[in-house]
Amino acid sequence: MPYNPSTGNYSLPAIYIAIPGTVIIASQHNVPLEDIATALNQVLLLSGIKAMTGPLNMGGAKIINLGAPTDPDDAARLADVSVANPKVTIYDTAGNHTHTFDTDSTHFTVEACGGGGAGAGTNNTSAGTGDTHYGHGGHSGWYYTTDPISRGVIATASLVVGAGGTSTASAGTETNGGNTTYDDGTNSFTWNGGLTPSALSAGNIGAQMYQYNQPSTPSAADALFGRGRFGTRGAIIWTGTDVVGSGFGGDTPYGRGGLPVTAGFNGNAGTGNGSGGSGSAKSSGGTTSYIGGAGRPGIIIIREWTE
């Protein structure tokens, strides 16, 4: 064995020792040379002509002066993979913000969502005698991520995170979600807030819930601009029929919209940034007004890195 398998150290066989004045014998001469030949076949040549036959254990030492990779199978340097570990800054409170870029960053993306719309309220006159009124859910805000942008000399950006829509017990007074905007003087983007439906435009008598105002086939613009998910539509249900419930709030990638309620409850607020609130529900013949669920504020996520 030319190398100790545990340490990798090489030692000549004990038989190599020659004694002066004695006759050289083949076993004493040949065995050490054959062992040396075997050992040389296991070394890592500087020319790289021979491939490794096992993992290269650096023992905690660095590989320095590594060339830039040009092939997908080449080893990467820290500078080559820094894009995989970008700085991420999140703004999720409604209102104005200022983002200051790292002086070392060269590129960035902006991911954002507009504020969610409020669910529909149901007042004490919005349903006739003997029927139950279920309000529609609010739509979520638009959401999408920009393509990578070269930072250049951009130092700061002005941001507005759209507020979530609000609702009252008076049908038709609900508010849309606020728009979320980004502007750095060179690039400007807007993510629209989610719309809120009117409780007075509830579904037909006995109708099941379905997507509120959603086209059967989304248009190319819907896909391109990332329009938010629509809240579902509530229905007016006659007494004695199956209770369906109010409309769901529209979902976003950051969480689902408000869950629907049955007769006699306020709507639920959205849970994820930019999601819509669910509609409220007035019980049959009741005189109490109910408030639709609030939409959630939007969000802005800025990722920046160095290339």
pLDDT at 234: 55
Question: Could you say which DSSP state residue 185 is in?
Answer: S
pLDDT at 63: 86
Q: pTM value?
A: 0.64
| Residue 50: DSSP 8-state | S
Enumerate the H helices of 134-273 as residue ranges: 220-225
Intervals of the chain under pLDDT 70: 1-3, 5, 79-85, 123-133, 169-172, 198-244, 283-287
Tens of pLDDT along 121-132?
776 554 444 456
The per-residue pLDDT for 169 is 63
Q: Is the CB of residue 291 less than 8 Å from the CB of residue 271? A: no
- The pLDDT of residue 268 is 93
pLDDT of residue 132: 60
pLDDT of residue 81: 66
User: Which tokens is 141 given?
Assistant: 């805000």
**pLDDT reported for residue 213:** 37
Query: What one-letter code names the amino acid at 201?
Result: S
Provide the pLDDT for residue 30.
Answer: 77
Residue ranges in the chain assigned as alpha helix (H): 26-40, 78-81, 220-225
Instruction: Give CA–CA dist 149/206, Å, rounded.
Output: 51
Give the C-alpha separation, 126 to 129, whole Å: 10
Contacts of range 265-268, beta carbons closer than 8 Å, 24 or more positions apart = 265/290, 266/290, 266/291, 266/292, 266/293, 267/119, 267/120, 267/121, 267/135, 267/137, 267/167, 267/291, 267/292, 267/293, 268/119, 268/293
pLDDT given for residue 215 in this prediction: 39
What local confidence, expressed as pLDDT, does residue 286 receive?
65
Cα separation of 88 and 18, whole Å?
70
Q: In whole angstroms, give the CA distance from residue 117 to residue 140.
A: 6
